Amino acid sequence: MKCPKCDSKIPAISLIKITRWTDISCGQCKSKLNRNLNGQFWVMNILGSGVLPLLLILPFVFVNFFLALILTILFVIGFYFLDYKTTKLIISKRSGVE
């Protein structure tokens, strides 16, 4: 993730803090940023919250519960970073500076 204004890197932890109603601030230029609700956002949401966990992890629950648990943790971490790498930030519409 990069700031769309000054191109500085935004730390991965900031992704958790972005919601529809809350923005994050760029560490460099203090711009209010939010994520672009584009195709990437919806695809990641649909895949990450249902389709992929069901396909990848559910079969293992019947084989080995512990293995399914490990896979779930790995999936969440991996998916978070995939989301982080592909998210495009935009200047928040609430910032008042357009």
Kindly list the residues in this chain that would bind Zn ion in the complex (CB under 5 A).
Answer: 3, 5-6, 26, 28-29, 31
- Give the span between the Cα atoms of 53 and 44, in whole angstroms: 12
Rounded to a whole number of angstroms, the minimum distance from the CB of residue 13 to Zn ion is: 16
Tokens linked to 27: 């560490």
Q: Which is nearer to Zn ion, 9 or 19 (CB)?
A: 9
Please tell me what DSSP assigns to residue 10: P
Q: Which is nearer to Zn ion, 6 or 16 (CB)?
A: 6
Rounded to a whole number of angstroms, the minimum distance from the CB of residue 16 to Zn ion is: 19
User: Which stretch of DSSP H or E encloses residue 35?
Assistant: strand 32-35
Q: Which is nearer to Zn ion, 32 or 40 (CB)?
A: 32
Rounded to a whole number of angstroms, the minimum distance from the CB of residue 49 to Zn ion is: 29
Q: Please, are residues 9 and 27 in contact by the beta-carbon 8 Å criterion?
A: no
